[in-house]
Amino acid sequence: MKAAGVIVEYNPFHNGHYFHLQGTKEQTNADVYIAVMSGNFLQRGEPALVSKWTRAKMALQAGVDLVIELPYAFATGKAEVFSNGAISALDTLFVSDICFGSEHGSIDAFKNTVQYMTENKQVFDEQLKKEIAKGYSFPKASSLAYNSLDSAKYTVDLSMPNNILGYHYVKAIHEQKSSIQPHTLKRTGAGYHDEKPFDNTIASATGIRKILLGNNGELNKIKSLVPETTYDALISYYESYQTYHHWDIYFPYLQYKLSVTDPAELRTIYEAEEGLEYRVIDKIKDASNFTEFMEAIKTKRYTWTRLQRFLTHILTNTTKEEMAPYLEKMEVNYIRILGMTDRGQAYLKEVKKKVEKPIITNLNAKHDDPMLKMDIRATRAYALGYPQEIRTSLINQEYRTTPVRISHL
């Protein structure tokens, strides 16, 4: 069986994701489609709107055959870390092709960009240091350094969010010496960060989340923007938990942690750099909510996303020391199955004996992997802010939930 992969967050699964999945099927003509999906915390340093199990079900109902979890160590990393973890997971499962959305839309341009940047790495790195010294954030400095190179004629615009991720996917394939063949679809409609729908059917996940969180769970305004199965799942989740997950739920815990933690201890947290620990400790005392706190700490150098990732690691107590081996090796330690269709199960059965890493379907057995322990700790943090019964339910899902099963007849 030929397997194609997509790298996703599905926060939540919407019509744009459906069209991407259909485009992936058209471009790859695979027998089975595998999604490597972030867990309960995401690449932009945010809690997922609904749990990973609910999002896995959304994906399966929409046509994905197998959903595997991208471990927290990679799911909450910058683009390079996120991409390497995802490609490692798909490569482990012998995926032959991947397809990603991009603003550019030409895979040859991405390949050219990777080749160009490899050949001009020293020049780029020197220019990057100069831009960072001017006080720019890393993404902005990278974009300026890249634009200073004579590459525009045959490479992609790395100031665009999906182009950046696509570049890192292709770069990870190259660096990992993977046989995966990349494909890309040109994104149309709402952009990655757009908060307003492009039309009556397409909106970004960012825009959909803003509608949901701004309307006390009223879903009627997004009904045309998501598949019916997503709509039903969102209704069910809200009825069960009385809210969706968002940063304000966790703000009191973050506030407590920053109020009682010594700067030296905070400095050990992953992504604490250049005295950032002093800034967050200083600003937390006057903030009354998460947005107010973020407005107080963001600077020209530190983007909103970069700061959110740091705060996520504070909430989950993720240290530089425990992240170090994963940043060096840049590969997953295991494959955690979140859901599957009959085709997905058949594919797993076909490749299982060849897969060289553990395949995990439940945590009832003893698992001592440090990377997996980070995932479990992240789930415990994700359950904070809810009444005891709901909190216990969310934590127990980590241990008792078996992969979601959907039969496509």
Is 162 within any annotated ligand binding site?
A: yes
CA atoms of 330 and 371, how far apart (whole Å)? 12
Intra-chain end-to-end CA distance of the chain, in Å: 18
**Cβ atoms of 337 and 361 closer than 8 Å:** yes
| 84 has binding-site annotation | no
13: annotated binding-site residue?
A: yes
Pairing between β-strand 66-70 and β-strand 335-341 as defined by DSSP bridges: antiparallel
Collect all residues with Cβ–Cβ distance below 8 Å to 255 and sequence separation of at least 6.
284, 287
Q: Is 120 annotated as a binding residue?
A: no
Q: Tell me: is residue 8 an annotated ligand-binding position.
A: yes
| CA-to-CA separations, 184 to 79, 140, 142, 143, in angstroms, rounded | 17, 24, 22, 21
Measuring CA to CA, which residue among 337, 348, 344, 340 is closest to residue 31? 344
What is the rounded distance in angstroms from the CA atom of residue 228 to the CA atom of residue 231?
Answer: 5
Q: Determine whether the annotation assigns residue 19 to a binding site.
A: yes
Structure token digits, residue 91: 């490569």
CA distance 171 to 158: 13
Residue type, 387: P
239 is written with which tokens?
């009825």
How many angstroms separate the Cα of 11 from the Cα of each of 40, 209, 324? 10, 8, 28
Q: Give yes or no for a contact between 235 and 218, defined as CB atoms under 8 angstroms apart.
A: no
Q: Say if residue 183 carries a ligand binding annotation.
A: no
- Share in percent of the chain as helix, strand, coil (round to 5): 55, 10, 35
Angle among Cα 302, 304, 306 to the nearest 5 degrees reads 60
Q: Is 17 annotated as a binding residue?
A: yes
Q: Is 278 annotated as a binding residue?
A: no
Pairing of strands 32-38, 3-8: parallel
Is 12 assigned a ligand-binding role in the annotation? yes
Kind plus residue range of the DSSP H or E element containing 256? helix 247-260
The reply to whether 7 sits in an annotated binding site is yes
Determine whether the annotation assigns residue 14 to a binding site. yes
Count CB atoms within 10 A of the CB of residue 305.
17
Q: Is position 10 annotated in a ligand binding site? A: yes
Q: Which are the contacts of 232, defined by CB distance < 8 A and separation ≥ 6?
A: none
User: Could you tell me which residues come within 8 angstroms of residue 54 by beta carbon, excluding any fewer than 6 positions away?
Assistant: 233, 237
Does 404 count as an annotated binding residue? no
Q: Binding-site residues for ATP, please? A: 7-20, 101, 162, 187
Q: Binding-site residues, please? A: 7-20, 101, 162, 187
